[in-house]
Chains A and B, each alone.
Chain A
Amino acid sequence: MKQFASFVKKEFHHILRDRRTMFILLFMPIAQIIIFGFALTNEVKNSRIAVLDNAKDADAASLITQIGKSNYFNIEQVLYTQRDIEKIFQKGKIKMVIVLPQNFGNDLQHFNHAQVQLIADASDPNVASTLTNYASAIIVDYQNRVTNDRKLPYTINTEVRMLYNPQGKGAYSFVPGVMAMVLMLVCTMMTAITVVREKEMGTMEVMLVSPVRPLKIIIAKAIPYLLLSMVNVASILLLSVFVLDVPINGSLTLLIAESILFTLTCLAFGLLISTVTDSQQTAMFISLTGMFLPTVMLSGFMFPIENMPLALQIISNIVPAKWFYIIVKNVMIKGTGFTIVWKETLILVVMLFALLGLAIKKFKIRLA
């Protein structure tokens, strides 16, 4: 036990002496939560649009004002001919053009029927479809307001309630995601590097000839990073509650326990990477280039998993961040208890033991 303690102490010294790394490790999650909590949102606001108003009558003007008033759109430009549309899209700033036909007001007043054309720059299909939807909704709204005095029979009203996130804040879905991402990347990379570094420097030989069992060497390496990750979890949670106003609706103990479980899984994964590589560069490449995009894209926090092709949906199951994201979303925002997330927890536990077992099996006592 005393040997083990001194190994843990050695690892702590390693980390604490490298002030810059320490600083980056502790500061990075904070900066990320702040930047992404505020800036990452997949809602579309203040989009620049242009108007081609061929009608130039009162109805057209009031519809345009209605659209310009909303938070979603900023009318930046007025076009005069159809040909301008393509040019303006090619410059890249304007995302949608609203075209009103010549007899807009006339048709509306006399035939109760008029047309509006929405031309979206669909080089970003997500933005295009969102903008088209928003614009259509505003137009429907406008049309309802105009018809308001003519009360129609047989009307179905709808009453909509937004659960969990009534203001529709982006942070509610991004905080759990960023938390999963930061922990995954920091823990995996740091442990992967620390073992390989000793190999590269040659100090691994020294440790391997010591009487300490290899399993203990590995555990000793993981402990300081586990603690460091807990500090990160704490700072992320504090920031999300006090700065981003994302509440912790469920049990804090459960949330922390799950975070420890996830951190351990990541550490085990890092150890596995470190046992199969021999240079820091390779280890970093696998843990970063190899992990970053899959974690961002397949964990479900950027893109809905149910939209993916079946093969990717299956692959997404082996991304630990996916399960942790589901857990955090449930516990933190929906406020559900362990009964709802036990399945995800079990999956993480199984992953943890599988990765750890594999890492220990691959751990070589002799270097080539």
Chain B
Amino acid sequence: MRTLRFLLQKEFRQIFRDAAIIRIIFMMPAVQLILLPLAADYEVKNIQMTVIDLDHSDYSQKLTNKITSSGYFKLSQYTGSYNAALKNIEKDQSDLILQIPAKFEKNLVRENESTLFIAVNAINGVKANLGAAYLQGIIRNYNSEVRLKWIQLPRFSPELNIETASSNWFNPHMNYQLFMVPGILVVLVTMVGSFLASLNIVREKEIGTIEQINVTPVHKYQFIIGKLIPFWVLGLLIMTIGFLIARFIYGISPTGSFLTIYAFAGVYLLAVLGLGLLISTFTTTQQQAMLLSFFLMMVFILLSGLYTSIDSMPEWAQWITRFNPVTYFIEVMRMVVLKGSNLADIKYHIFIVLGFAVFLNGWAIISYRKRS
């Protein structure tokens, strides 16, 4: 116990003496947490639209007005040729082309039928699909208006109508920050924790001070625990700062209890730090350690479900996410913060992450050699 205390004293001193690192550890997450959630908004709006109106009729005018007043679309250009419109898409000044053919009004009134042509820049498939769907919805609406003008519909309209009412639970105002802030906080805590841990032992190796520890009677497990605890404390500290930022800047406080989050975070940090220490025992230079942990982090973070939904990944990628501690924390964070889930709801998450922690730290202790 006494040995451990001395080790801890050493580690804490080492961390707090490097003013540059301390500044970065605390400033960087804070700044990013303040700025980045504002950027995370997938919502498809502000779709730039080019209209090719070959009809120049009352109807085509009304249709264009109806579309631009919907709020989703902005008229970027009004032109007479398809080539000019395509050029606009190439220059990224426009996302979507609506072509109103000549005799649009005439055909609609005389032939009872008329066709509009829509072309969408589909490089971003989701935006394209939703944009086209919105536009078709508006056109359908316009269509009903036209019909109403021409025919007196019977009491029960022959247009079959299934009304869909949608409601959004847990986040009724569709506030993206409510969704992104907890997730980004997880990423920041994970990155700082794992990078610090992975660089730590390897730094002692590179500088040569590891030899000094190796000749002391310190046990392997004491050494690893001594490395683990300071970063664990730092990780929880960063998380607390993050929650303060979430509370005072975004006005987000968890629906569930902090106790649940911290209980999970405590276990989770052990797993992440264990991974870092494991990397540290396997590599010989800080450069290697950094690259390796960065590579793993990038995979973990991008496959964590923070940015893209896990359900839509292919089977094998979903399988990877099951071995990804970040996935579990992001899930827990969202469950507790947004839905108020309690300890019982997340018990599987805790057990799994606890398993990771035991496995990774155990492996780190075994693979750390006191002899080179």
Contacts and interface: CB of A to CB of B under 8 A. Distances in A.
Interface stretch (B18-26, B212-220, B229-237, B261-269): B18-26
Contacts of A70: none
A169 B165 CA distance: 30
A146 B328 CA distance: 44
A154 B107 CA distance: 9
Contacts of A329: 123
A40 B202 CA distance: 33
B94 to A, nearest CB: 11
B150 A153 contact: yes
A297 B158 contact: no
Given A39-B303, A158-B136, A28 B295 contact: yes
A20 B120 CA distance: 46
Given A21-B291, A153-B112, A42 B24 contact: no
A122 B41 contact: no
Interface stretch (B240-248, B312-320, B356-364): B312-320
B179 A92 contact: no
Given A24-B292, A282-B21, A40 B167 contact: no
A298 interface: yes
Contacts, number: 383
Interface residues of A, number: 123
A125 B163 contact: no
B286 A281 contact: yes
B345 A91 contact: yes
B174 interface: yes
Interface in A260-300: 277-282, 284-286, 288-290, 292-294, 296-298
Given A47-B312, A92-B341, A286 B90 contact: no
Given A163-B120, A172-B125, A297 B24 contact: no
Nearest to B46: A306
Contacts of B102: none
B199 A154 contact: no
Interface residues of B, number: 119
B39 A312 contact: yes
Given A122-B169, A122-B172, A165 B287 contact: no
Contacts of A336: 90
A158 B115 contact: yes
A159 B174 contact: no
Given A120-B167, A285-B28, A125 B175 contact: yes
Contact of A119 (B113, B166, B320): B166
A61 B90 CA distance: 45
Interface in B2-48: 18, 20-21, 24-25, 28-29, 32, 35-36, 38-46
A157 interface: yes
Interface in A157-211: 157-166, 168-170, 172-173, 185, 189, 193, 197
B151 A159 contact: no
A133 interface: yes
Given A156-B108, A288-B195, A193 B290 contact: yes
A308 interface: yes
Contacts of B118: 158-161
A307 B46 contact: yes
A279 B18 contact: yes
A290 to B, nearest CB: 6
Given A85-B169, A279-B21, 6 more contacts: A40-B307, A44-B312, A92-B331, A123-B339, A288-B195, A296-B307
